[in-house]
Amino acid sequence: MRVKGSRALLESLKREGVDTIFGYPGGAVIPIYDMIYQFPDIRHILVRHEQGAGHMAEGYALATGKVGVCLATSGPGATNLVTPLADAMMDSVPIVAITGQVRSNLIGTDAFQEADITGITMPITKHNWLVKDVNQLPEIVAEAFHVARSGRPGPVLIDIPRDVSDAEFEYTPVESVDIPTYKPTTRGHSVQIKRAAELIDQAKKPILYVGGGANHAYAFNEVRELAEKINTPVTTTLKGLGAFPETHPLSLGMLGMHGTAYANYAVSECDLLIAVGARFDDRVTGKVAEWVPNAKIIHIDIDPAEIGKVLLADVPIVGDVKAILTELNKVVKGKQHPEWVSQINKLKQDFPLHYPNDGVLHGQYVIEQIGEVSNHDAICVTDVGQHQMWAAQFFKCERPRQFVTSGGLGTMGFGLPAAIGAQFGAPDKPVFCVTGDGSIQMCIQELMVATIYKLPIKICILNNQFLGMVRQWQELFHENRYSSVDLEASPDFVKLAEAYGAHAIRCFKPSGVRAALEEAMSITDRPTVLDFRISKEENVYPMIPSGGTIHQMVVQRPPDMVPLDSYIASETYMGEDDQATQEEKETVPVPRAK
Amino acid sequence: MTQTQQHTISVLVENKPGVLARVALLFSRRGYNIESLAVSITENPSISRMTVVVNGDEQEVEQITKQLHKLIDVSKVQDYIDVPIIARELALIKVNAEVNNRTAILQLVEIFRGRVIDMSDKTFVIEVTGGNDKIDALEKLLEPYGIRELVRTGRIAMARGVRGM
């Protein structure tokens, strides 16, 4: 059948099961947009900035496990995808980015809206392709999806010159993909699995350290089976949240820089670390040389390059986490560790996560209430900063794909578009976007998309009028020199939300949080923006300083520090009712010129 | 701590545009310094072979080879550290050759089994192949005459005997 390149592209996408594309048109992709008319099964979501399209594709992928797709034009459209691609690369998110390119005969001439996007994105994609000949297009699309979703998932990019989209050729659908140079190992080596089982059965103080790989591999049941079989505590990384239910008695929550104190103590004491789809990130290990000093290490990962990258493993096993754990569960004898577990339970009692109970509105409380009001069934999408760490600590994930966040790259601006992508992917789940007054302003324009498509996302701004995490570091390590973190001059988020057609609520006190969240849950035909005016100088604890060790962990705010909430008398926080009345809205300070 | 050693790594890649950039970028992005890099097609025209020389300890080089292997266009990676290999590079050296120096230079070239492949009234161009030590030695001996231009290929290597890649 003779068709245009643009039709072959969309046919190929349809064959890959694509139902949603997040994109923004421009000169080089007009032929593709023209063809979308003829594909009613594929819905195109018009974003407000290509960065939003990329993060939406990520949120869609993370919430559903399917490949997310975004589409942008050449040059500036394509370069706006750079941040989401880098983000997806760091967190192994399967997305396919399609970019338009200038006509083939203009490539390399500094043509209008030309950028060498395959060159630019080489280090931040798993692989990328420039389609030089329309005959290659179907095969490249099939390969791109195969590479994105198989092995260690990741982002790929396909750059299509405008004349290739327009060119006619004899289209034959691609039935199967075979890339001789790309054959990820999925089955774990049986001898290594036996060795791992032996180590596990010998260990006195084992710990399961579970990362994002377990979520990508859908290894939820297998992780749980292993943990219960050997009665071993489980700690997850930020990206591993949801791979083990945090309400389970064996759960230690998150470990690392802002992990629970008991997870970090337990890890530093363990004699066997069973790493499952985790990459020993520096936010987890701190100073590597002094991390897990007494432990043997079993490292299970689909990416051979992760094994031995940071710490040498005693038993490395390359392959799919789910497949390996299934085998491992068969051969592990199931030695129990009652003393170890009771030692850990004592640690849990001695060093619980906590925050001040002083009548002031704290971010942690808002997060807890989000969990409760949604019966822990919501998808929690976060931005990056203090609110993200509070969400990781207090949301209490119970299932995979419930916690969507930017871990490796730490991309502020990720939250709102990712929440939109997640809601498109999971229309029946409540989606909460936990964000900050800094983060939300990085992609706030995507609110329009949520309104247009009637997405009932609940956008919870934990508004402390600071770039809170940077401020925290400045407080702790730079003698309170708060250089360029003051966000007092922000727009009135309630008015802004209303301008975008969203429902809006402002909340000043803990007593109003539940009602505000319930109101948000009841709004089903548009997004709700909740402006939570939280404690201004609250920090995230525990904290292990960057590159530090467990011995340097600060479990709670040192008593000699500036008292929290010394600002409380300021008129910004004078609201009597938590549900802000019109009058109180007036008391919000007008953004001041600087 | 393992010792830093020089490693010769052979990489078989798809013969496609951009592959060299991908490989080179991987080295620069991860902070590994390339001592030498030589690329050409192989007995199979759809496959190219890169010979990369890097310094590093065992763990570093293992990481390099694993990262190289992750690239979609890379089919095989071999570190020749424990394998007997033949390694060669080629140099072209343009040296001042005044009438009264010519015999001496020719003698040097003879000893190093090189060849003079171009001659003018003022210069020779000498071709020499061998290990980099040998080429370094010749270069040093020719220096007093005045080297005008020098170009070296970088190392290419192959395992000895039936052992292949």
**Digit-coded pLDDT (tens) for A359-416:** 999 999 999 999 999 999 999 999 999 999 999 999 999 999 999 999 999 999 999 9
Strand-strand pairing, B85-96 and B147-152: antiparallel
- Residue A533: per-residue pLDDT: 97
Q: What is the rounded distance in angstroms from the CA atom of residue A358 to the CA atom of residue A355?
A: 9
CA distance A128 to chain B (A): 9
**Looking at chain A, which residue has its C-alpha nearest residue B66?**
A305
Residue where a domain stops, chosen among A329, A351, A373: A351
Which residue's structure tokens are 């190992």?
A185
Residue B165 inside a domain? The answer is no
CA distance B75 to chain A (A): 4
Chain A contacts of B72, Cβ < 8 Å?
Answer: 126-127, 147, 179, 181-182
C-beta atoms of B69 and A309 within 8 A? no
C-beta atoms of B70 and A118 within 8 A? no
Q: What is the rounded distance in angstroms from the CA atom of residue A328 to the CA atom of residue A192?
A: 10
CA distance B22 to chain A (A): 7
Say whether residue B16 is in contact with chain A using an 8 A CB cutoff.
no
Q: Which helix (H) or strand (E) holds A519?
A: helix A513-522
Among the partner-chain residues B29, B59, B73, the one whose CB lies closest to the CB of A123 is B29
CA distance B44 to chain A (A): 14
Average pLDDT, chain B: 94
Chain A contacts of B69, Cβ < 8 Å?
Answer: 304-305
Q: Looking at the structure, do residues A163 and A204 belong to the same domain, yes or no?
A: no
Q: Across residues A567-576, what is the average pLDDT?
A: 36
Q: Looking at the structure, do residues A149 and A206 belong to the same domain, yes or no?
A: no
Q: Looking at the structure, do residues A161 and A227 belong to the same domain, yes or no?
A: no
Among the partner-chain residues A181, A308, A312, the one whose CB lies closest to the CB of B72 is A181
CB of A412 closer than 8 Å to CB of A437 = no
- Residue B33: per-residue pLDDT: 87
3-state secondary structure of A332: coil
Chain B contacts of A302, Cβ < 8 Å?
Answer: none
CA angle, corner A116, sides to A115 and A120, nearest 5?
Answer: 110
Give the count of Cβ contacts less than 8 A between chain A and B. 40
Residue at A502: amino acid letter: A
CATH code of the domain containing B147:
3.30.70.1150
- Residue A592: per-residue pLDDT: 43
A interface with B, Cβ–Cβ < 8 A, is: 118-119, 122-123, 126-127, 130, 147, 179-182, 303-305, 308-309, 312
What range defines the domain where residue B44 resides? 5-82
Chain B contacts of A122, Cβ < 8 Å?
Answer: 18, 21-22, 25
Residue A44 inside a domain? The answer is yes
Per-residue model confidence as pLDDT tens digits over A320-362? 999 999 999 999 999 999 999 999 999 999 999 999 989 999 9
Q: Looking at the structure, do residues A311 and A335 belong to the same domain, yes or no?
A: yes
Per-residue model confidence as pLDDT tens digits over B28-59? 988 888 999 999 999 999 999 999 999 999 99
Among the partner-chain residues B22, B70, B75, the one whose CB lies closest to the CB of A180 is B75
Q: Which whole-number Å values give the CA distances from A380 to A66, A385, A406, in the listed order?
A: 18, 15, 12
Residue A552 inside a domain? The answer is no
Please name the residues between 67 and 96 in chain B that touch chain A, using a CB distance below 8 Å.
67, 69-75
- Residue A583: per-residue pLDDT: 41
Q: What is the rounded distance in angstroms from the CA atom of residue A394 to the CA atom of residue A400?
A: 16
* Upper half-sphere CA count for residue B130 (Cβ side, 13 Å): 16
Res. A586 pLDDT band, cuts 50 70 90: very low
CA distance B63 to chain A (A): 6
- Residue B163: per-residue pLDDT: 85
Q: Looking at the structure, do residues A491 and A435 belong to the same domain, yes or no?
A: yes
Residue A181 inside a domain? The answer is no
Which residue's structure tokens are 């008319």?
A37
- Residue A563: per-residue pLDDT: 47
Q: What is the rounded distance in angstroms from the CA atom of residue B53 to the CA atom of residue B80?
A: 10
The sheet with strand A127-130 has its strands ordered as A43-46, A20-23, A68-72, A95-101, A156-161, A127-130
Among the partner-chain residues A122, A127, A308, the one whose CB lies closest to the CB of B62 is A308
Residue B164 inside a domain? The answer is no
Chain B contacts of A144, Cβ < 8 Å?
Answer: none
Q: What is the rounded distance in angstroms from the CA atom of residue A384 to the CA atom of residue A406?
A: 7
Residue B163 inside a domain? The answer is no
Percent of chain B residues past pLDDT 90, beyond the cut: 90
Residue where a domain stops, chosen among A351, A377, A404: A351
Q: For chain B, which residues score pLDDT lower than 50?
A: none
CA distance B164 to chain A (A): 18
Q: Looking at the structure, do residues A164 and A272 belong to the same domain, yes or no?
A: no
- Residue A558: per-residue pLDDT: 67
In chain A, the number of structural domains is 3
CA distance A256 to chain B (A): 24
Residue B162 inside a domain? The answer is no
**Looking at chain B, which residue has its C-alpha nearest residue A147?**
B72
Q: Among residues B52, B63, B84, which one has the least CA distance to residue B161? A: B84
Among the partner-chain residues A123, A130, A180, the one whose CB lies closest to the CB of B25 is A123
CA distance B54 to chain A (A): 18
**Looking at chain A, which residue has its C-alpha nearest residue B73?**
A181
- Residue A587: per-residue pLDDT: 39
Residue where a domain stops, chosen among B40, B61, B82: B82
Which residue's structure tokens are 């395992």?
B159
The sheet with strand A251-254 has its strands ordered as A251-254, A234-236, A206-210, A272-276, A296-301, A315-318
Using CB atoms within 10 Å of the CB of residue A335, give its burial: 0 to 12 exposed, 13 to 18 middle, 19+ buried: middle
Q: Looking at the structure, do residues B35 and B102 belong to the same domain, yes or no?
A: no
Per-residue model confidence as pLDDT tens digits over A308-323? 999 999 999 999 999 9
Chain B contacts of A130, Cβ < 8 Å?
Answer: 18
Q: Looking at the structure, do residues A306 and A415 belong to the same domain, yes or no?
A: no
Token representation of residue A329: 């569960």
Q: Looking at the structure, do residues A371 and A333 belong to the same domain, yes or no?
A: no
- Residue A591: per-residue pLDDT: 43
Residue A289 inside a domain? The answer is yes
Chain A contacts of B75, Cβ < 8 Å?
Answer: 180-181
* ipTM tops 0.90: yes
Residue A549 inside a domain? The answer is no
Residue A29 inside a domain? The answer is yes
Res. A570 pLDDT band, cuts 50 70 90: very low
Q: Across residues A435-458, what is the average pLDDT?
A: 98
- Residue B3: per-residue pLDDT: 83
C-beta atoms of A122 and B22 within 8 A? yes
CATH code of the domain containing A67:
3.40.50.970
Ranking A99-113, A393-407, A516-530, A575-589 by mean pLDDT, the lowest is A575-589
Res. A571 pLDDT band, cuts 50 70 90: very low
Token representation of residue A24: 């923004």
Q: Looking at the structure, do residues B44 and B67 belong to the same domain, yes or no?
A: yes
Best of B70, B71, B74, B77 to substitute, by most chain A Cβ atoms within 10 angstroms, is B70
In chain B, the number of structural domains is 2
Q: Looking at the structure, do residues A428 and A450 belong to the same domain, yes or no?
A: yes
* Sign of the dihedral through C-alpha A164, A166, A169, A171: positive
- Residue A41: per-residue pLDDT: 96
Q: Looking at the structure, do residues B90 and B62 belong to the same domain, yes or no?
A: no
Residue where a domain stops, chosen among B82, B106, B126: B82
Per-residue model confidence as pLDDT tens digits over A10-69? 999 999 999 999 999 999 999 999 999 999 999 999 999 999 999 999 999 999 999 999
Higher per-residue confidence, A563 vs A471: A471
- Residue A86: per-residue pLDDT: 98
- Residue B165: per-residue pLDDT: 83
**Looking at chain B, which residue has its C-alpha nearest residue A125?**
B71
Average pLDDT, chain A: 93
Q: Looking at the structure, do residues A241 and A317 belong to the same domain, yes or no?
A: yes
**Looking at chain B, which residue has its C-alpha nearest residue A116?**
B18
Residue where a domain stops, chosen among B82, B104, B139: B82
Q: Looking at the structure, do residues A446 and A521 belong to the same domain, yes or no?
A: yes
C-beta atoms of A118 and B73 within 8 A? no
CATH code of the domain containing B26:
3.30.70.260
Q: Looking at the structure, do residues B53 and B113 belong to the same domain, yes or no?
A: no
Using CB atoms within 10 Å of the CB of residue A103, give its burial: 0 to 12 exposed, 13 to 18 middle, 19+ buried: middle
C-beta atoms of A179 and B72 within 8 A? yes
The sheet with strand A458-463 has its strands ordered as A403-404, A379-382, A431-436, A458-463, A528-533, A503-507
Q: What is the dihedral of CA B55, B56, B57, B59, to 10 degrees?
A: -130
Within 10 angstroms of residue A190's Cβ, the number of other Cβ atoms is 11
Percent of chain A residues past pLDDT 70, beyond the cut: 94
Q: Across residues A505-525, what is the average pLDDT?
A: 97
**Looking at chain A, which residue has its C-alpha nearest residue B47?**
A181
CATH code of the domain containing A208:
3.40.50.1220
Res. A183 pLDDT band, cuts 50 70 90: very high
Q: Across residues A207-235, what is the average pLDDT?
A: 97
- Residue A559: per-residue pLDDT: 63
Chain B contacts of A118, Cβ < 8 Å?
Answer: 18
C-beta atoms of B72 and A118 within 8 A? no
Q: Looking at the structure, do residues B105 and B149 belong to the same domain, yes or no?
A: yes
Chain A contacts of B50, Cβ < 8 Å?
Answer: none
CA distance A501 to chain B (A): 44
pTM of the full predicted structure?
0.94
Q: Looking at the structure, do residues B93 and B49 belong to the same domain, yes or no?
A: no
Q: Looking at the structure, do residues A313 and A166 belong to the same domain, yes or no?
A: no
C-beta atoms of B21 and A122 within 8 A? yes
Within 10 angstroms of residue B5's Cβ, the number of other Cβ atoms is 12
Residue A476 inside a domain? The answer is yes
HEC profile for A293-325? CCCEEEEEECCHHHCCCCCCCCEEEECCHHHHH
Among the partner-chain residues B18, B29, B73, the one whose CB lies closest to the CB of A181 is B73
CB of A543 closer than 8 Å to CB of A341 = no
Chain B contacts of A309, Cβ < 8 Å?
Answer: 63
What range defines the domain where residue A203 resides? 190-351
Q: Among residues A15, A41, A22, which one has the least CA distance to residue A453? A: A22
Residue A178 inside a domain? The answer is no
CA distance A308 to chain B (A): 8
